[in-house]
Amino acid sequence: MIQMKTPPLRDAILRHLTYSFGKDPEHAILEDWRMALSYAVRDRIVDAWFKATGTTYDTGAKRVYYLSMEFLIGRLLEDGIVNLELVDEAKSALAEFSKDYHEVLADEPDAALGNGGLGRLAACFLESLSTIGCPAHGYGIRYEHGLFRQSFVDGRQIEQPELWLSQRHAWEFERPEVRYRIGFGGHVTNHGETVRWHPAEEVEAEAFDTPIVGWKGRWANTLRLWSGRAIHPFDLDAFNHGDYARAAAPEALARTISRVLYPDDTTEQGKELRLKQEYFLTGAALRDILRRFDNQFGDIRKLPEKVAIQLNDTHPAIAGPELVRILHDERGLPFDDAVEIARGTLSYTNHTLLPEALESWDESLFGRLLPRHIQLIDQIDYTHAQKNPSRTQSMRADHQVKMGQLSFVMAHHVNGVSALHTELMKTTVFEELHRLHPDRIVNETNGVTPRRWLLACNPALAGLITESIGESWVDDLEQLERLEPHIQDSAWLDRYAQVKRENKVELSNWMGQTYGLHADPDMLFDVQIKRMHEYKRQHLNILEAIAHWQEIRENPDAGWTPRLKLFAGKAAPGYFFAKDIIRLINDAATVINADPVTNKYLKIAFLPNYNVTLAERLVPAADLSEQISTAGKEASGTGNMKFALNGAPTVGTLDGANVEIREHVGAENFFLFGMTAEEVMERRTVESHARKAIEADPRLAAALKAVREGRFSPSEPDRYRGIADNLEGADYFLVCSDFTDYWRAQREVDAAFKDTQGWARMAAFNTARSGWFSSDRTIRGYMHDIWNAKSLLQG
């Protein structure tokens, strides 16, 4: 390998400005500086990347492949700078050119190639895999348009296309030589033993590589994203006949595949293009994986020994039949052997139990697009039934292809993402398959990378921690335990509280400048940020706020704890109920914020366009973390972990990873309310449960009445009748039944926040005891329990 001397960052920036972008410092615009700094940082990442790739080849180590339709990576420049420990050098290098570090970082577009938690988890995992030194690739789609940009008009969500690639993107390397043909449709021929699929339509998948560097630049893995291209980009014949639209059609069609991310988080739409995207990602990834394997190892029977493929939810589940097709049809292995090798290689993570999210495809659509795969699925299903005579459920019931069942049968391990979720998998969706394969389901509780979610986003807290216990916590987060003795020291605790206050001041200033929203940093900053969904119950939060407002109005001098309620989150464009909740929050904020009687004590704001970058601003400044989903519905949550780590105690239900967070931080440092998952199921069977809850709680009744009668929508009094009808009627997510206890927990929060020292102690215990929620711990769990993969870093 070529060894080159690493130039000082300042020189590298100037070099790139000059020779990569053709600008001198006098004429460079902000984007030029951002690109020059990014390239200077990227050069150093590339050094680590080559070294890692070399080590992986030389050792013949097992490789991990993470297949995911979503990678919510956000900005990458600060990540690179922080992991390479270049913060000070970057700041002073830019200062030499009179450029502000933060302004340069803020110029980078936020890559939103994912919807929410599932995609962000994939991004945290990539970073942890690199930090640990586990040889790995992420495979995904290079969407031209990531998740839509959200704005509000009259309080309503407006969606605009996200154009993250319209600004220059510093991190990817195009690999025009790495291309695979991906087929769709056509027919299957049978000649004796030889079965062949002849696709009718083909597109090309082209690779774009982004290196992902780990802590201290000790290792870097690759995120390989596929972009669609036409095989014959231009129909010259059509052009020559003057049909210019038809001439350009092949190109347009192929590019459509990687054009947009589906903006639904937990609902499945069964659209043809989505299935094409799934096969496009999976087909290209498998071909790439097998090419690499063949080059290095040859003997295909060794595949499970050298390759672990993780399916991030069922979206890449077609990997099962596709691998069987390649091994059986193309390489001639017996069917049973092909299935066994595929199963030895694949494992599957389930991320939700919501029935509307469980992928199932109409068999005629599926068969039309993937005619050979549907035959193989039938064969897989049939042999599985033969071997398990007591089985009653099929992956091919009701003229559908059930991707959850298929994934389970084709995986050697199936994991849930929190302890509660994993147990519920065993008793609900996968009850039968779990009985047949009792060792297959394992739990790997989610985690978050402490580099991005503490070191980078909260430098003041990170600084205090490092000063107190040294820096080993950065890649060994459970070291945070060693903060506990400091919590007893009131001078230290004051400093801890001071850090939070400074973060709140910074957020207030930013909100003032950006949205004209003026918030007193002494208020309690109460934050709920996540996708909009009924099960996440943002409407429970706003109803409680309305009730609280009514109570303050009645009795303004009762010594209320001043509170700022912050919301952020996007609703799927077709999820009208969730969009109504957004509008209700905005409308309620308008009325309540304008009330001179109450606005010292209660303010509400919904910040637009929630994304990774906004989360990085809000998490360090939060006092209270709202994790209030209906128990049994949130598989894990990962925002909950980010808040706890940054010293925001949770008000929450016993749902998802909240359960484990409470166990770790201690019940006395967590505001618990609401029914358990079991109680939820029981309560649903009670007739008129919502009405009963409303009758029992006059505050709830009054808040609902205000919503129903248009108190917040005077120009259109009926606007929220739908929400009121829903809550007073079926109330599937049990907003009314949990309201009273939520109110109680919130008043406990109010009282606790008044005790400044006591609150700081609680916050600090959340930080000190959240070390277990590092995605490094999660990844080590996958490596040990599922992948049988090893770290290639010493020590």
User: Interface with ligand GL4 by CB under 6 A: which residues?
Assistant: 116-118, 121, 265-266, 351-352, 357, 417, 446, 634-638, 656
Cβ neighbours for 40, distance < 8 A, ≥ 6 positions apart: 9, 12, 13, 15, 16
- How many Cβ atoms sit within 10 Å of the Cβ of residue 319? 30
Q: CB 416 → ligand GL4: shortest distance, Å?
A: 9
Catalytic site residue from 56, 222, 613, 638: 638
Of residues 121 and 543, the one with the C-beta less far from ligand GL4: 121
Of residues 115 and 598, the one with the C-beta less far from ligand GL4: 115
Cβ proximity of 347 and 319 under 8 Å: no
Q: CB 695 → ligand GL4: shortest distance, Å?
A: 33
Of residues 56 and 653, the one with the C-beta less far from ligand GL4: 653
Cβ proximity of 642 and 150 under 8 Å: no
Catalytic site residue from 224, 328, 351, 780: 351
Of residues 635 and 736, the one with the C-beta less far from ligand GL4: 635
Q: Is 642 a catalytic residue?
A: yes
Q: CB 420 → ligand GL4: shortest distance, Å?
A: 11
Map tokens 């059930």 to a residue.
Answer: 402
Of residues 70 and 322, the one with the C-beta less far from ligand GL4: 70
Q: CB 775 → ligand GL4: shortest distance, Å?
A: 11
According to DSSP, the residues that pair with 67 across neighbouring strands are: 139, 311
Cβ proximity of 129 and 221 under 8 Å: yes
Q: CB 448 → ligand GL4: shortest distance, Å?
A: 10
Cβ neighbours for 565, distance < 8 A, ≥ 6 positions apart: 526, 528, 541, 545, 602, 603, 604, 605
Q: CB 418 → ligand GL4: shortest distance, Å?
A: 8
Long-range CB contacts for residues 516-522, cutoff 8 Å, separation at least 24: 517/605, 519/564, 519/603, 519/605, 520/562, 520/564, 522/562
Q: CB 624 → ligand GL4: shortest distance, Å?
A: 20
Token representation of residue 385? 């039934």
Could you tell me the CA-to-CA distances from 784 to 313, 582, 777 in Å, in that order?
20, 42, 11
Rg (CA), the chain: 27
- How many Cβ atoms sit within 10 Å of the Cβ of residue 25? 16
Q: Is 565 a catalytic residue?
A: no
Of residues 63 and 421, the one with the C-beta less far from ligand GL4: 421
Reported in sequence order, the residue ranges of 489-584 that DSSP labels E, i.e. its strands, are: 524-529, 563-568
Cβ proximity of 214 and 135 under 8 Å: no
Q: CB 706 → ligand GL4: shortest distance, Å?
A: 31
Catalytic site residue from 276, 533, 633, 642: 642
Cβ proximity of 703 and 543 under 8 Å: yes
Cβ neighbours for 251, distance < 8 A, ≥ 6 positions apart: 229, 230, 233, 234
What gap in Å lies between CA 136 and CA 337, rounded to an integer? 26
Q: Is beta strand 360-362 parallel, antiparallel or unpaired with respect to 173-184? A: unpaired
Cβ proximity of 322 and 86 under 8 Å: no
- Please choose, from the candidates 660, 665, 697, 672, the residue with its C-alpha nearest in 3D space to the C-alpha of residue 749: 672
Q: Is 665 helix (H, G, I), strand (E, B) or coil?
A: helix
What gap in Å lies between CA 556 and CA 596, rounded to an integer? 11
Q: CB 530 → ligand GL4: shortest distance, Å?
A: 8
- Please choose, from the candidates 538, 662, 713, the residue with its C-alpha nearest in 3D space to the C-alpha of residue 610: 538
Q: Is 314 a catalytic residue?
A: no
Catalytic site residue from 34, 149, 536, 719: 536
Amino acid code (one letter) for 438:
P
Of residues 56 and 627, the one with the C-beta less far from ligand GL4: 627
Map tokens 């029935």 to a residue.
Answer: 355
Cβ proximity of 38 and 101 under 8 Å: no
Of residues 515 and 732, the one with the C-beta less far from ligand GL4: 732
Q: Is 504 a catalytic residue?
A: no
Reported in sequence order, the residue ranges of 136-274 that DSSP labels E, i.e. its strands, are: 136-141, 149-153, 156-160, 173-184, 187-191, 194-198, 201-213, 220-229
Q: CB 453 → ligand GL4: shortest distance, Å?
A: 14
Token representation of residue 361? 């495809």
Could you tell me the CA-to-CA distances from 407 to 417, 620, 744, 793 in Å, in that order?
16, 38, 43, 32
Of residues 221 and 446, the one with the C-beta less far from ligand GL4: 446
Catalytic site residue from 396, 413, 531, 570: 531
Q: CB 669 → ligand GL4: shortest distance, Å?
A: 21
Q: What is the DSSP letter of 260?
A: B
Output the CA angle 738-666-744, nearest 5 degrees: 25
Q: CB 536 → ligand GL4: shortest distance, Å?
A: 9
Of residues 304 and 447, the one with the C-beta less far from ligand GL4: 447
What gap in Å lies between CA 640 and CA 661, rounded to an integer? 8
Of residues 155 and 447, the one with the C-beta less far from ligand GL4: 447
Q: What are phi and psi of 408, to 5 degrees?
A: -60, -45
With CB atoms as reference, the residue minimizing the distance to ligand GL4 is 117
Of residues 354 and 460, the one with the C-beta less far from ligand GL4: 354
Looking at the annotation, which residues are catalytic?
351, 530-531, 536, 638, 642
